[in-house]
Structure 1
Amino acid sequence: MKVVIIGSTHAGTATIKSIKSHYPEAEIDVYEKNDNVSFLSCGIALTVQGEVKNIEDLFYSSPEILRDLGANIHMEHEVTAVDTANKTVTVTDLTTQTVTTVSYDKLVATTGSWPVVPPIPGIEDERIVLSKNYTHAKALISYANDPKIRRVVIIGGGYIGTELVEAFNVKGREVTLIDNQPTVLNRYFDDAFTKNVADLFTAHGVTVATGQLVQSFENTPEAVIVKTDQSEFAADLVVMSVGFRPNTQLFAGQLDMMPNGALLVNDYMQTSQPDVYAAGDSVAVHYNPTGENAYIPLATNAVRQGTLIGYNLVKPTVKYMGTQSTSGLKLYDLNMASSGLTEAHAKELGLDAASLTMTDNFRPEFMSSTAPVLMTITWEKTTQRILGVQLQSKYDISQSANTASVAIQNRMTLTDLAFVDMLFQPWFDRPFNYLNLLAQAALAQADKTDA
């Protein structure tokens, strides 16, 4: 069985390992246009601020490791065409420019994503950079350690953007965050949470310019002038972080896609061509809170999907469970995590949703210390099915987001979460865990509304 894999970051690397585990006799050819594999881009900001000392530590595999597994790894080889009808790919060796045509029995598309680069006048300036891959990371680290780089503008207030704000701020730079949304982290958290983030940034000297749309860049020898519909900001460095789009141009007209180009797959990671599998940032995921397809590029989705391809390569064996888009971040001493939908996002998608926000300490007040947890739960009104949970605290609430993810995955209701069995020990929590208390308060609100 001849398997061709296009791309080898998270999904591709996981696919290689899984196929070789389940079908060691499979002949695998991997074509990767870059000179590295398995780079953890989520560690870029940590390296910029100095938490991670060596950028090379962000690689968890290598061409040599994958070759030792028995895969044929072709680095700096770009697949320029795919013919799914005749089961061939056209490959260019980027070093020699040699072009070859390769046949396959099974094809795996793990082509990933690329940052959105809006067509803003002046954006071609070399001082306007991206944050995605190893090359970008090295450039950002160099800028962070260059004393001539004093003023940094981050455009985009999602996870990557906000983490880079903290990273450059910790390095002593003058940082401005611009986002066209009314708040930072708008899609992931409600206003009570995002206001805390904005206040935290402001307290650390960061300029937060939300609700502003970048309209142009003026390129002068001294600075890039970022012009919004309301203000102007001078920068020595601008980082664009406004989202990602799937790299799927190779499959246009051949495989079923979402409007944005994300490949559609079934429960076994097969595309509309059964011998073509796909995983990672190039793929639409099954989003459990809505039951629909969505584009959610996360490394967690990529490694799960890639691993499942190895199980399902010959016959449907293990279903993809879908995702709740569970994620988290730490900004200074503030921990944040979420799973599923906010109420606003749920209503945008046509769900009849309600939510409740409350604060409670994670463990009893009689302990020598405790910490408040700000938390929100969102549910579907008609069924009381849990749609989302948001958490924020100086206490580490990350594993509670994982608990919420399981609850959403299993379509649990407010009653289920209100009274599910959790441990009690004063070092760790209260007689009712704070997730129990959150669901109980929501249940009381829902019952009062229905009465």
Structure 2
Amino acid sequence: MSERLVVIGGDAAGMSAASQARRLKGPDELEIVAFERGHFTSFSACGIPYWVGGDVAGRDELIARSPEEHRARDIDLRMRTEVTELDVEGRRVRARDLESGEESWTAYDKLVIATGARPIRPPLPGIDAPGVHGVQTLDDGQALLDTLEATRGERAVVVGAGYIGVEMAEALCKRGYTVTVVNRGAQPMSTLDPDMGRMVNDAMTGLGMEMVNDAEVTKILTGEDGRVRAVATENAEYPADVVVLGVGVRPETELARAAGLPLGQHGGLLTDLAMRVRGHENIWAGGDCVEVLDLVSGRERHIALGTHANKHGQIIGSGVGGDYGTFPGVVGTAVSKVCDLEIARTGLREKDAQAAGLQYETVTIESTSRAGYYPGAAVMTVKMLAERRTGRLLGVQIVGREGAGKRVDIAAVALTTRMTVEQMTALDLGYAPPFSPVWDPVLVAARKAVAAVRKGG
């Protein structure tokens, strides 16, 4: 007798899990039913800023696998259908067809929760006015593009200066808009330490963007036609023909909360190493709706990234299909860019290390992406944190031009393997003048960190 797997969510984690489970078990052994409330499946939300900015030619390039392709693999994928209730005791979910309004219950033997994250939309006056956009789904991206085409405006305000905020600021600059970024923090990119965030701020200002830091948006102002005309803070108004919200996301776990499933301090579902929801053998969860273990601090974190979601899906699908896999955790690696400025980080910031009770040393160095005499060599700044006494690497942040960002991967591997900064100095990295100085910038920082650790005792 076959079992039934129900998947809630049709993007990276959910459909990766369904696809992997199907590889391991045929339709005679496992029936798979998946619910997706949107219009698209398996798409790259991370690519939306580059589609809006014109680097990606069209929406379909961001879709890895269509609903029809999933159905061709014997997955009963029900689009525009939202799961509204989860009955854990009865092993069933209630779903509503968003087109017809009809509701029905579907029983399951195994369940995957991949509900993702929802954008933070502050409850401000005017927040729902025409011309105010979030950018979480392909529908959001299309709506923003439609507004940009229809208004032919000149002024844009981006609210928030995290990854989405700076990427959307770049996209709007590329479309010819004068861009103002309103940020509640002292510097953009709160995922960096303030000294590194200051470099991002200076670079964005140098690119012609107006940076407004330490500013809380109080309302969205509208004109007589009801459309957005400005963004207001306590002290000023910033004219806007379009507003893009980039103030972060939260785990979409209201279904799980109502069903009594375990949530962490950040609101994400808690799972074991095999991505099973803790205390529930037949329920798995993955993607942006879960919390993950930080391998450096030992604490749970919420990190919304497609890289993690796809890995979660593979592991979940293996477990559902009778195989085995684990997701041990993350070190918090992320990379982004704004125009020609590359921004990368992995591991702990100073305040993370302090919160974890760690004693540490910090060093900051400047180097170049290539041998200094080779054409195109660009300056980059590397900041490194190392644990006092042990010398264990705790974190790295990099800001620079071409060739800077992906160097963070060296540090990500070192963090994962719990290397000391002294061990890092012996890494056998590739060298040729077009690619690196004789001493790679990350290793230069490691050498300086070794000296700081020794000096600090």
TM-score bin (small chain): over 0.9
What is the identity, as a one-letter code, of the residue corresponding to 1:241?
Answer: G
Task: Describe how 1:359-378 pairs up with structure 2 within 5 A.
Answer: 359-378=366-385
Q: Quick check: 1:128 aligned with 2:132?
A: yes
Contact 1:143 1:149 in 2 (8 A): no
The answer as to whether partners of 1:37 and 1:61 remain within 8 angstroms in 2 is yes
**CA–CA separation in structure 1 for the residues paired with 2:154 and 2:431:** 50
Q: 2:153·2:241 contact (CA, 8 Å) conserved in 1?
A: yes
Answer yes or no: is the 8 Å Cα contact 1:45–1:167 preserved in 2: yes
Moved more, 263-272 or 168-177: 168-177
The aligned counterpart of 2:20 is: 18
- Taking the TM superposition and a 5 Å limit, the aligned residue runs for 1:181-196 are 181-187=185-191, 189-196=192-199
* 2:286 counterpart of 1:279: yes
Residues of 2 paired with 1:446 and 1:438: CA distance?
12
Range with bigger deviation, 17-26 or 172-181: 17-26
Q: Which residue number in structure 1 is paired with residue 202 of structure 2?
A: 199
Partners of 2:4 and 2:154 in 1: CA distance: 53
Residue 392 in structure 1 maps to residue 396 in structure 2: no
Compare 132-141 and 306-315 and name the one that shifted more: 306-315
Deviations 1:415-446 (A, max 9, x none): 11122222333333233332222111111111
- 2:112 maps to 108
**1:232 partner amino acid:** E
Shift of residue 97, structure 1, vs aligned partner = 2.3
Which of 241, 244, 252 is equivalent to 2:246? 241
Residue 211 of structure 2 is matched in structure 1 by: 208
- The structure-2 alpha-carbon separation of the partners of 1:144 and 1:136, relative to structure 1 and needing over 3 Å to count, comes to same
The CA deviation string for residues 108-165 of structure 1, in whole angstroms up to 9 with x for no partner, is 0001111011122332322222111111100111233345322211100001011111
Counterpart position of 1:7: 9
Alpha-carbon distance between aligned partners in 2 of 1:33 and 1:16, rounded to the nearest angstrom: 16
Percent identity (aligned): 29
C-alpha change, 1:177 and 1:448, in structure 2 (3 Å) is same
| Structure-2 residue corresponding to 1:257 | 263
The answer on whether the counterparts of 2:371 and 2:433 sit within 8 Å (CA) in structure 1 is: yes
Q: State the SS of the aligned residue for 1:301.
A: helix
Contact 2:425 2:447 in 1 (8 A): yes
2:275 equivalent among 269, 273, 279: 269
**8 Å Cα contact 1:48-1:144 kept in structure 2:** no
Q: Could you say what secondary structure the match of 1:4 adopts?
A: strand
How big is the shift at 1:407? 1.0
In the alignment, the residues of structure 2 paired with residue 365 and residue 207 of structure 1 have an alpha-carbon distance, to the nearest angstrom, of 32
Deviation at 1:349, TM superposition (A): 4.0
**What is the DSSP-based 3-state SS (H/G/I as helix, E as strand, rest coil) of the residue aligned with 1:145?**
helix
Q: Which stretch shows the higher mean deviation, 257-266 or 105-114?
A: 257-266
Q: Secondary structure at the match of 1:359?
A: strand
Post-superposition offset of 1:63: 0.7
Query: Aligned partner of 1:205: which letter?
Result: G
The answer for the alignment partner of 1:305 in structure 2 is 312
Residue pair 1:343, 1:354 contacting (<8 A) in 2 also? no
Cα distance between partner residues in 2 of 1:143 and 1:11: 30
Once the two structures are superposed, what CA deviation does each residue of 1:155-185 show, in whole Å capped at 9, x if it has no partner?
0000101111111112111211001100000
Counterpart-to-counterpart distance in 1, 2:207 and 2:369: 26
In structure 2, runs of 5+ residues without a counterpart are: none
Cα distance in 1 between the residues matched to 2:276 and 2:5: 14
Unaligned ranges ≥5, structure 1:
none
Cα distance, 1:372 vs. partner? 2.2
SS at match of 2:84: strand
1:116·1:242 contact (CA, 8 Å) conserved in 2?
yes
- Matched residues in 1 for 2:177 and 2:369: separation? 35
